[in-house]
Amino acid sequence: MTAVSVTTGPGSYTGLRVGIASAKGLCYALKIPMIGLNTLEVMAHSSIKATEQGTDNFLYTPMIDARRSEVFTATYDNRLNEILPASVMTLEDQSYNDILNQHTIIFSGSGSQKWAKIISHKNAVFQDVKISPESLAALAYRKLEQSDFSNILTTDALYLKEFYN
């Protein structure tokens, strides 16, 4: 084993803590590097790979349900350049209007189901795509080639919002 890759969030608080702690433990014990990946970026990569006829005008917006009317989201182009940074967003009918008027946006993930009930725009496309292990591996391999490793002592989860009981 050369390295261990793990998504660092956003996502389930407990799942992130357990996954990151397990990756850190393996890396420390085996003296190998850890590669942390943003969950939304991995989801966007999966969506790009699932899009049969993507163009440069398509944008990819994965959404993770964050309860209530909120989602964890970010927007990427087809080369995974970040257009809108990872954030927690309260969905409203005007949330993406400016960007939807200029681009077709492929929405995916558990949070996109909420969004589909709110938005009606000709450039909003909804895609049922699951996070792909191949996408995780491809992005991790890219970071491995660049020696872009996470510090096992300081890497923490990307929560984006506070935990509420």
Q: Helix H segments across the chain? A: 13-30, 39-50, 97-100, 112-118, 133-145
Q: Sort 18 into a burial class: Cβ within 10 Å, 0-12 / 13-18 / 19+.
A: exposed
Residue 6 has pLDDT above 70, yes or no: yes
Which pLDDT value is given to residue 36?
97
Q: What angle do CA 89, 91, 92 make, to 5 degrees?
A: 130
- Summarize pLDDT for 91-103 with one digit per residue, the tens: 988 889 899 999 9
Per the listing, tokens 């970026």 go with 41
- Summarize pLDDT for 37-80 with one digit per residue, the tens: 999 999 999 999 988 665 677 999 999 999 888 999 999 999 99
- Summarize pLDDT for 113-124 with one digit per residue, the tens: 999 999 989 999
- Summarize pLDDT for 122-137 with one digit per residue, the tens: 999 999 988 889 999 9
Task: For the domain made up of 4-145, give the CATH fold.
Answer: Nucleotidyltransferase; domain 5 (3.30.420)
DSSP state of 6: E
Which pLDDT value is given to residue 131?
85
Residue 165 has pLDDT above 90, yes or no: no
- Note the pTM of the prediction, 2 decimals: 0.92
Q: Where are the chain's structural domains?
A: 4-145
Return phi, psi of residue 60, to 5°.
Answer: -125, 125
Of 120, 87, 89, 101, residue with least CA distance to 59: 101
Q: Percentage of the chain with pLDDT > 90?
A: 79
Is there a contact between 1 and 150 (Cβ–Cβ < 8 Å)? no
Q: What angle do CA 107, 4, 48 make, to 5 degrees?
A: 20
